[in-house]
Structure 1
Amino acid sequence: MNVVQILERLVSFPSVVGTPNGDVVDWIVRYLESHFVRVNVLPGPEGDRANLFATLGPEDRRGYILSGHMDVVPAQEAEWRSDPFTLRAEGENLYGRGTSDMKGFLAAVLASVPALRALRLDHPIHIAFSYDEEAGCRGVPHLISRLTELCAPPLGAIIGEPSNMRGVRAHKGKAAARISIEGRAGHSSRPDQGINAIHLMVDVLSKAVETAGALTQGPHDPTFEPSYSSMQVGTLKGGQALNIIPDLCVAEIEARAIPGIAPTALLEPVHAVVRSLAAHGINATWEPLSDYPALSLPPDAPLSALVERLTGAPSLAAVSYGTEAGLYQNAGIPSIICGPGDIARAHKPNEFIRAEELTSCQTFIEALGGFLSIRS
């Protein structure tokens, strides 16, 4: 199968984040096993989805991880011009959900397997595919926790998020939480007989706005735009009608942190307000939604030099989106982003990747194999 045919099969699996992914995992396992690659399927605690890990080359030596996620965001937008889970070619453009983010990278990795298998690899190439990345990198921590039993300490990890095949050395970390406050419903003419949940949320929102303002003062990292960590309330829901006292208010909040700062620490002032409300008898709950650290790879890191050598292009200092790379880095594995496609096409109707981008990525991966192979 060539890279486009593989992408066609991958896109056909509606592996939407937060749903079972057994179909796509099973297909990838069968494909790899057909090329005599041993695969480790690593079920997550949810019970209906799994990560997978495979190694090409000597398992007892240090090598490089090719990391990607199998899940995609939903594709319910009315603007889709065709079935989002059926690959559609229009010239060089290949349309479908996940083509850029990031089944295109998965397809390039899988298409490279026959060529990699034909090499005498002196150091291994590991394939690490995760689940539920789009929900805040929830699947890959379970995979990373198993690496010590799966392989020798990796030399580095290449995370194939869409970057136009340019290495990317940094991104901010992110943490998010959902806050729910329960009140008591009643007629708005008798506020003395109800408890307004929206009013109770005001202190939480005020602390979030106050903290967001304070973060603009620094610390700063000029690598990023903006150069400071940030916070926002992204959603706010509550109330049924104007003349009914709201009995529930729910807010979702996120913080994005520059390297060196734990994203959850930024949320702590807001979390403290929620705990205070609960301590005073109010039914206020805090539900973590995501938490992944920032990525920061030095410009002179060997991994950056390797990716620049293989792509023929200088690496980028930073991007605005987040990835699993920071989690690999936190596990002591130097990490960099490099993958086909453009992030500007992701999470939108009529998402696409160009056939030449897939070929470029496959060439990059096979060149990595050549770099790691035994010279005769």
Structure 2
Amino acid sequence: MHAVEILERLIAFPSVAGQANDAIVEWIRAYIEDCNATVTVLPGPEGNRANLFATIGPADVPGYILSGHMDVVPANEPAWSSDPFTLRAEANRLYGRGTSDMKGFLAAALAALPALAAKPLARPIHLAFSYDEEAGCRGAPHMIARLAELCARPEGAIIGEPSTMRAIRAHKGKAAARVEIHGRSGHSSRPDQGLNAVHAMAEVLAEAVVSAERASQGPFDTAFEPAYSSLQAGTIKGGQAVNIIPDLCIAEFEARAVSGVSPTELLAPLKARAESLRAKGFEVNWELTSAYPGLSLSADAPLACLLAELTGEEPLAAVSYGTEAGLYQAAGIDAIICGPGDIARAHRPDEFILTDELTACQSMIEALGNRLCP
């Protein structure tokens, strides 16, 4: 099948993060098996979602992983010009949710599969397709934990996030947390008889402002924009009416960290402030909803040199968005970002990818296969 035809099939699956993904997993599994490759479906602990891992070539020697995620963000924006889950072609543009982020990479890899399967590979290429990346890289850790039983330790992982086919060596780490503060409701005329959860959350918000300012003072890494770690309050909700003491307030916080800084540690002062509210009678629930490490690959790393040769361009130093690449590096596997599409087109109405980008990605993957032949 041509990459565009495969992309059309993949876009038709509304595989939104956090929802069951058995339909898209089953279609990809069947396609891979038809190409005479070994494929394993790896159910996650949620019970209705799964990762997928496939191998072309000998699994008992080191090779390379092509990593991508099957999930997409929701497509509820009213500004879509057509059904976001039906591929629409206009000239060299292919529109649909996930075209750039990142079913385009999956389509290119799957389109290259028959050619790879026909090669006498001395070292393998693995396809590692995950779930719930858009919900904080929740699926990939379960797959990475099982790599030792699936293959020899890979030499590297290429994460196909949209980069206009320019390799990228580094990205920030991220952590996100959800805080629930439970107080006691009552009539607003008697604040002495209640516990105002919104007022209590204000203390955590104040800590977030202080922590964000502290992070902006360094350490610095000029490869990133901005060159420092960041922290913000992303959402907050609480209360029922202006004359009722609010008994519940919920807020979500996010931290993004430059290399050498732990994103979870950036959130630690907020957690401490929230938990201190228990001494005032509040019930506090702190949940780390997602976390993944940053990526930092040296310019002279073999994987960086390989991608420079495959793409014809030197890799970029860094981007500020995050990917699953840091998880692979944390597991001892060098990783780099390189894929079709553009992150600037992602997570917005009329997301698209260029047909030329699909072709370039498929050619890169097939070129990688040529290098792994004797």
TM-score grouping bracket, smaller chain normalisation: over 0.9
Q: Give structure 2 stretches of 5+ with no counterpart.
A: none
Equivalence map 1:165-176=2 (5 Å)? 165-176=165-176
Deviation string 1:73-124 (CA, Å, 9 cap, x unpaired) is: 0001111111111101111111110000000000000000011011111110
Q: CA deviation at 1:278?
A: 2.5
Distance 2:60 2:235 in 1: 48
What residue identity is the alignment partner of 1:47? G
Deviation string 1:155-210 (CA, Å, 9 cap, x unpaired) is: 00000000000000000000000111112222212212222111111211111111
Distance 2:353 2:215 in 1: 37
Counterpart position of 1:285: 285
Counterpart position of 1:124: 124
Equivalence map 1:233-248=2 (5 Å)? 233-248=233-248
Residues 1:24 and 2:24 aligned together: yes
TM-score by length of 1: 0.98
Distance 1:58 1:279 in 2: 59
Distance 1:162 1:213 in 2: 31
Counterpart position of 1:217: 217
Distance 1:186 1:78 in 2: 40
**Secondary structure in structure 2 of the residue aligned to 1:267:** helix
Contact preservation (8 Å) 1:68, 1:160: yes
Counterpart position of 2:115: 115
Distance 1:279 1:332 in 2: 42
Contact preservation (8 Å) 2:236, 2:251: yes
What residue identity is the alignment partner of 1:82? S
**Secondary structure in structure 1 of the residue aligned to 2:344:** helix
What residue identity is the alignment partner of 1:263? P
TM-score by length of 2: 0.99
Counterpart position of 2:33: 33
Equivalence map 1:30-109=2 (5 Å)? 30-109=30-109
Q: CA deviation at 1:279?
A: 4.5
Deviation string 1:13-42 (CA, Å, 9 cap, x unpaired) is: 000000000000000000000111110100
Deviation string 1:19-66 (CA, Å, 9 cap, x unpaired) is: 000000000000000111110100000010100101101111100000
Distance 1:369 1:278 in 2: 58
Distance 1:279 1:162 in 2: 47
Distance 2:347 2:202 in 1: 32
What residue identity is the alignment partner of 1:182? H
Distance 2:350 2:200 in 1: 42
What is the count of residue pairs matched by the alignment? 374
Equivalence map 1:135-174=2 (5 Å)? 135-174=135-174
Q: CA deviation at 1:280?
A: 4.3
Counterpart position of 2:344: 344
Contact preservation (8 Å) 2:183, 2:281: no
Counterpart position of 2:178: 178
Q: Give structure 1 stretches of 5+ with no counterpart.
A: none
Counterpart position of 2:304: 304
Q: CA deviation at 1:281?
A: 3.3
What residue identity is the alignment partner of 1:120? P
Q: CA deviation at 1:313?
A: 1.2
Counterpart position of 1:13: 13
Distance 1:152 1:336 in 2: 19
Identity %: 67
RMSD: 0.9
Q: CA deviation at 1:270?
A: 0.8
Contact preservation (8 Å) 2:165, 2:361: yes
Which segment drifts farther, 237-246 or 195-204? 237-246
**Secondary structure in structure 2 of the residue aligned to 1:32:** helix
Detail structure 1 runs of 4+ shifted over 2 Å in the superposition. 278-281
What residue identity is the alignment partner of 1:351? E
Contact preservation (8 Å) 1:278, 1:285: no
Distance 1:115 1:16 in 2: 30
What residue identity is the alignment partner of 2:314? P
Distance 1:350 1:243 in 2: 43
Contact preservation (8 Å) 2:168, 2:337: yes
Distance 2:218 2:303 in 1: 30
**Secondary structure in structure 2 of the residue aligned to 1:54:** strand
